[in-house]
Structure 1
């Protein structure tokens, strides 16, 4: 089981192998009786970068990146907003229906919807994903092999039968995930290519608080987010007493990741330990050999000077969603100018097939 929070911040990692895979993901969150939090929120992301945002307080879909604002027009945002408004009402009704099915009355309840697609720009391989979660558990999952719905919960059986009988709805969703979503993903990659397709090498440091503390290999300032940070012992990958941290956002849009090695000074002085960092799109390996002169420490300082800082819009979203959702856990990642072939990239087109009622 992977946390929903991890999906939000995973910047494509749940659907992206280490390589050149790209992803577009939408997250819908509908909440009931959560104080100081919008009842309905939509977050759209490309390669883990938030590009659009909607909530029930503002009732407007808005760009979160300059390249989205520059490469789209009023028609696009009006269409996106209209789609979100329809989904907002549908999902609000769905929460009431689910309360009845689960014999619930008041209290905090969360309905979540996640969908999107992936594309590997080297192999051309594509994929899709779509699922609903309710109060921290899978409710409905879309099977990309059969293009039908699966119901992990008995309370979802009614919806399962209804949705799987809707042949036009199934066809719409299959076409969206296998065709249209990929078109929009490539389009957004083109819109933001100066940002999304760039490569920035990491700065790698070895950090240690005290001689008995784990040695941290800290890579920061790299882009894109695909990264491997591994420890090697005498030229071989070393996994014993190694703890891997998550990939986190920096304020400037780059990323950071730390991997911690627990080893005694005697052990690393008698063997060759080194940290190897590999970043997607960069052929060069970045290596730091574990020797005393390479270790940065804050021994004697009142406050560490190398504590990673999580910043940026998505990190703020993490804090908000962690507080609100708490235990919510899920399994599972063109031409210049606006292209008017379709005015919305979501799966809630004018046919209404995206905002199916539970």
Structure 2
């Protein structure tokens, strides 16, 4: 379980036959300017909710979760309990125990938990799991067959034994994996079908600052964020003289991305051999945009086309402004009886 601190980056929409609900919790020690505890819920790789110890609120990231928070007080209460009471206290104590077991007197240390359940709608089978990692190493995994903890490192055998000796904690784990998680997942899937199957195609544009600048292929307004954008030459993807930008969120929950092509070594007559391709996961209707000067948007204006009257007007305006400023200075100095030369 090599999980980074930010575990809730979106990946891709799952198959319609299988659904997953995952919870990620991270506690840290010695990390400056970062929450000591944070958590997230992810349904079929779509971020549903988030919380951390700095904001101290549970943030629903989808309308589906907002609906349950507003209509089911117990639903919101469970998230609040996990985010601000149960897990932060438990994580802090566990980190202290692990630091002693590993002889860590200080420094930066991270404890992470990944748990959740998978629902196979074809067979009806639901599988739960829970794993812990400390400083990027797997240390404990819950065994659903034995209903015991498996110690993955010899240093944590004592923690395994102490956890199994506390009956309420063992009951909590089993109840969460066999009842709470599956119930949440089924409710989300049933009420959120439109969200999970949502796809939106973007507007693709070709942009260029000046005639000698690289051409940027920009796609904005797509969903989900599992998409690809690339340049082709003679219908073959190219990588030379190409710079890819990352996927960025828009204000309306859609995404945007760009890829830039340097054409400095491409003859104008060869432009027609190039095109930009956008591909969206779950859809086969790619958007192909030919590299054509007529398709390129730019706000660059040739100096030869710049109106002469406008240039004269700007020059005259600047001269008038200088005259006004000069007059104000003289007036103020006379008013204050200032006689030194300007």
Which TM-score tier does this pair reach, normalised by the shorter chain? 0.5 to 0.7
The CA distance in 1 between the partners of 2:150 and 2:105, in whole Å, is 27
**Structure 2: unaligned runs, 5 residues or longer:** 302-342
Identify the residue that residue 28 of structure 2 maps to in structure 1. Answer: 31
Higher fraction of helix: 2
Identify the residue that residue 253 of structure 1 maps to in structure 2. Answer: 253
Preserved CA contact (<8 Å) 1:119 1:182? yes
Q: Say whether 1:68 aligns with 2:65.
A: yes
Cα gap change, 1:62/1:236 in structure 2, threshold over 3 Å: closer, same or farther? Answer: closer
The CA distance in 1 between the partners of 2:78 and 2:258, in whole Å, is 41
Identify the residue that residue 78 of structure 1 maps to in structure 2. Answer: 77
Between stretches 116-125 and 63-72, larger displacement belongs to: 116-125
Cα gap change, 1:290/1:35 in structure 2, threshold over 3 Å: closer, same or farther? Answer: same
The CA distance in 1 between the partners of 2:225 and 2:194, in whole Å, is 15
Deviation, 1:73, is: 0.8
Between stretches 65-74 and 53-62, larger displacement belongs to: 53-62
Aligned residue pair count: 294
Q: Equivalent residues in 2 for 1:113-128 (5 A)? A: 113-116=113-116
The CA distance in 1 between the partners of 2:293 and 2:123, in whole Å, is 43
Identify the residue that residue 238 of structure 2 maps to in structure 1. Answer: 238
Preserved CA contact (<8 Å) 2:140 2:160? no
Preserved CA contact (<8 Å) 1:201 1:282? no
Identify the residue that residue 139 of structure 1 maps to in structure 2. Answer: 138
Over the aligned positions, Cα root-mean-square deviation in angstroms equals 4.6
Identify the residue that residue 103 of structure 1 maps to in structure 2. Answer: 103
Give the secondary-structure state (helix, strand or coil) at the position aligned to 2:88.
Answer: helix
Q: Equivalent residues in 2 for 1:1-358 (5 A)? A: 4=4, 7-8=7-8, 10-13=9-12, 23-34=20-31, 37-56=34-53, 61=58, 63-71=60-68, 72-84=71-83, 85-116=85-116, 131-135=131-135, 137-140=136-139, 151=152, 155=155, 181=181, 184-209=184-209, 214-264=214-264, 266=266, 269-270=269-270, 272-297=273-298
The CA distance in 2 between the partners of 1:191 and 1:222, in whole Å, is 23
Which one scores higher on RCO, CA 8 angstroms, separation ≥ 6?
Answer: 1
The CA distance in 1 between the partners of 2:226 and 2:298, in whole Å, is 27
Alignment deviations for residues 126-155 of structure 1 (CA, whole Å, 9 cap, x no partner): 9887544434x233375999998584x665
Preserved CA contact (<8 Å) 1:227 1:277? yes
Give the secondary-structure state (helix, strand or coil) at the position aligned to 2:266.
Answer: helix
Give the secondary-structure state (helix, strand or coil) at the position aligned to 1:42.
Answer: strand
The CA distance in 2 between the partners of 1:120 and 1:287, in whole Å, is 36
Give the secondary-structure state (helix, strand or coil) at the position aligned to 2:91.
Answer: helix
Deviation, 1:171, is: 12
The CA distance in 2 between the partners of 1:117 and 1:233, in whole Å, is 44
The CA distance in 2 between the partners of 1:54 and 1:38, in whole Å, is 10
Identify the residue that residue 337 of structure 1 maps to in structure 2. Answer: none
Give the secondary-structure state (helix, strand or coil) at the position aligned to 1:251.
Answer: coil
Give the secondary-structure state (helix, strand or coil) at the position aligned to 2:225.
Answer: coil
Deviation, 1:220, is: 1.4
Alignment deviations for residues 102-137 of structure 1 (CA, whole Å, 9 cap, x no partner): 3222344332223345679899999887544434x2
The CA distance in 1 between the partners of 2:175 and 2:61, in whole Å, is 27
Alignment deviations for residues 27-59 of structure 1 (CA, whole Å, 9 cap, x no partner): 212122445544322222335544333344676
Structure index of larger Rg: 2
Preserved CA contact (<8 Å) 2:232 2:277? yes
Deviation, 1:163, is: 8.2
**Structure 1: unaligned runs, 5 residues or longer:** 301-358
Give the TM-score normalised by the residue count of structure 1. Answer: 0.61
